Amino acid sequence: MNSTEIPNWLKQRAFLTPNRIALKTENEEISFLTLHQNVVKKANQLTFAGIQEDDVVSVLMKNRIEMVELIHALNYIGAVTVLLNIKLSSSELEFQLKDSGSKIVLTEDDLLEKVIHFNNEIIRLKELQELPEKDCAIQGYFSLDQADTIMYTSGTTGNPKGVIHTYGNHWWSAIGSSLNLGLYQDDCWLLSVPMFHISGLSILYKSIIYGIPAVIHESFDPKRANDAIMNQGVTIMSLVSVMLKRMVDELGDQSYPNSFRGMLLGGGPAPKPLLEDCLARHIPVFQTYGMTETASQVVTLAPEYSISKLGSAGKPLFPVEIKIEKDGMLANPNDVGEIVVKGPNVTKGYLNRMDDTKTSIVDGWLYTGDMGYLDEEGFLFVMDRRSDLIISGGENIYPAELEAVLLAHPGILEAGVTGVDDEQWGQVPAAFVRKEEGSIVTDDEIIAFCYKKLAHYKVPKSIHFVDFLPRNASNKLMRRKLIGLLKDENND
């Protein structure tokens, strides 16, 4: 039995509804037909540049129409696209390029500096636009089992892992979401989260599959986002708590129009006061739960429960199941345990990491590492992302990665990182450091050292020197106890 094939999505969409608007920016609107034509041109230029079916190609770019076009063009060719986070440091990018076996990096002038010194072939957008075309054999069908994109995400230990998304993962994500949220003729989705994250990329695919416009913002700005809802027909938006709070503040005493259907709120448990504030102001919020490995949201709170189950992430999308496991057993209702997810939008695995894949995905069930419980009616309440995950302004920060950098400093013997609450970003990383004997390294020096090695959002906002780190019997760092050290420090 072959995997289900669906006609090339954008090509089919451009055939079915050529004149509908596909993308909007502040300056232009592009129909599906024009987008398709632009994509064919780009696919031909990439073909001229030597990119072929099954090649792995990295894209390092800000949200912009050309980024959308390149992602689709790589689909047309049948290449596999690695989406690179533009905030990463050079050494972080180098790891992902090597690990994914990227043949070529597509980037733009502003970001060139980050990758210029690597061995990979680089094509800048401006160069690409000048290239001649060579006829590309456009993929007529996408097989749902076929690898489409790769995004890196860090685990509890070690290096980031490349999550493989098949066309099927993206397809089922879009379909599952539409069966939950509905699909209205005038729907229009604001895409102001990065397309190198699954939250942004999934909107791009929804736009094509649903036949609705995506309004693209290069970066998030609360005033522009509010304006898109108030004046540009945006009906749905994906965001995280810190963005929502800024939008609500900026909104003042204005209200969104009735045509606005809702805020799809992801990126970790939301503060209840914010949700209550939105409720009081009649701002519809759909709490969601999802991650890169599940190709975006897999659990969403249905409209009819937004009041009675405030604070819950809801129930699974139609094709998805969740369960809670505790000590290898199914947990009882209201008992906290690990959240385990199954469904056709769950990744088939991590690139070149058979062992990690086998550990994380058992019989189709993904062990998320996140903690939560189901109430008696089966509503999910997420307690904590992976015991140690720090979510800062919608970006995931993995303590293990920061600790590895800290330990590379010659003056540091031991290091532990945890998140501390922050009004602006939700959480920010704090580092606990035990110096090498005799070392006179200062916190400023350590922070400067981190800036060289890490994306800026990952750099610890505070360094705390300690005499010991809390470890369990097997000497494993107990990150959750780090916060206690901070309290001790304050009591001194």
Q: Does 304 bind its own copies (CB under 8 A)?
A: yes
Q: Does 168 bind its own copies (CB under 8 A)?
A: yes
Q: Pick the closer one to its own copies by CB: 149 or 180.
A: 180
Candidates 71, 144, 346, 351; binder of its own copies (CB under 8 A) is 144
Q: How far is CA 366 from the centre of its chain?
A: 17
Task: Measure the CA–CA gap between 402 and 431, rounded to whole angstroms.
Answer: 8
Candidates 28, 126, 132, 185; binder of its own copies (CB under 8 A) is 185
Q: Pick the closer one to its own copies by CB: 171 or 398.
A: 171
Task: Measure the CA–CA gap between 149 and 169, rounded to whole angstroms.
Answer: 10
Q: Residue 298 CB, nearest distance to its own copies (Å)?
A: 13
Q: Pick the closer one to its own copies by CB: 55 or 187.
A: 187
Of 4-12, 188-196, 240-248, 441-449: span binding its own copies (CB under 8 A) = 4-12
Q: Residue 182 CB, nearest distance to its own copies (Å)?
A: 5
Binding to its own copies, residues 351-410 (CB under 8 A): 378
Task: Measure the CA–CA gap between 406 and 414, rounded to whole angstroms.
Answer: 8
Of 64-72, 109-117, 313-321, 458-466: span binding its own copies (CB under 8 A) = 313-321
Q: Pick the closer one to its own copies by CB: 318 or 451.
A: 318
Candidates 29, 129, 158, 179; binder of its own copies (CB under 8 A) is 179
b/e map 174-213, b = 16+ CB within 10 Å: bbbbbebbeeeeebbbbbbbbbbbbbbbbbbbbbbbbbbb
Candidates 129, 318, 332, 362; binder of its own copies (CB under 8 A) is 318
Of 59-67, 151-159, 272-280, 314-322: span binding its own copies (CB under 8 A) = 314-322
Say whether 162 sits in a helix, a strand or coil: strand
Q: Pick the closer one to its own copies by CB: 78 or 211.
A: 211
Q: Pick the closer one to its own copies by CB: 307 or 440.
A: 307
Candidates 13, 24, 386, 453; binder of its own copies (CB under 8 A) is 13
Q: Residue 150 is encoded by which pair of tokens? A: 């790769």
Give the x-and-dash track for 260-299 against its own copies (CB under 8 A): ----------------------------------------
Q: State the Rg of the chain over Cα.
A: 23
Give the x-and-dash track for 102-141 against its own copies (CB under 8 A): ----------------------------------------
Task: Measure the CA–CA gap between 288 and 309, rounded to whole angstroms.
Answer: 13
Q: Does 451 bind its own copies (CB under 8 A)?
A: no
User: Which residue type does 278 have?
Assistant: C
Beta strands in 47-166 (DSSP E): 56-60, 80-83, 104-107, 121-124, 141-143, 147-153, 161-166
Binding to its own copies, residues 17-36 (CB under 8 A): 17, 19-20
Task: Measure the CA–CA gap between 462 and 299, rounded to whole angstroms.
Answer: 34
Question: Using alpha carbons only, what angle is made at residue 30 by residues 25 and 31, rounded to the nearest 5 degrees?
Answer: 145
Asked if 332 contacts 143 with a C-beta cutoff of 8 angstroms, the reply is: no
Candidates 210, 256, 286, 449; binder of its own copies (CB under 8 A) is 210
Please, which residues have CB within 8 angstroms of residue 24's CB and are 6 or more apart in sequence? 30, 188, 213, 214, 215, 216, 232
Q: Residue 10 CB, nearest distance to its own copies (Å)?
A: 12
Task: Measure the CA–CA gap between 264 and 286, rounded to whole angstroms.
Answer: 5
Task: Measure the CA–CA gap between 6 and 351, rounded to whole angstroms.
Answer: 24
Q: Pick the closer one to its own copies by CB: 50 or 140.
A: 140
Give the x-and-dash track for 420-449 against its own copies (CB under 8 A): ------------------------------
Q: Does 145 bind its own copies (CB under 8 A)?
A: yes
Question: Using alpha carbons only, what angle is made at residue 189 by residues 184 and 191, rounded to the nearest 5 degrees?
Answer: 170
Candidates 6, 248, 400, 404; binder of its own copies (CB under 8 A) is 6
* Nearest CA-CA partner of 79 in 38, 4, 139: 139
Torsion of the alpha carbons at 232, 236, 242 and 243, rounded to the nearest 10: -20
Q: Pick the closer one to its own copies by CB: 374 or 455.
A: 374
Q: Does 182 bind its own copies (CB under 8 A)?
A: yes
Using the structure block, give the residue that is written with the tokens 């532990």.
416
Residues that bind its own copies (CB under 8 A): 1, 3-4, 6-7, 12-13, 15-17, 19-20, 144-145, 168, 175, 178-179, 182-185, 209-211, 302-304, 315-316, 318-319, 321, 344, 378
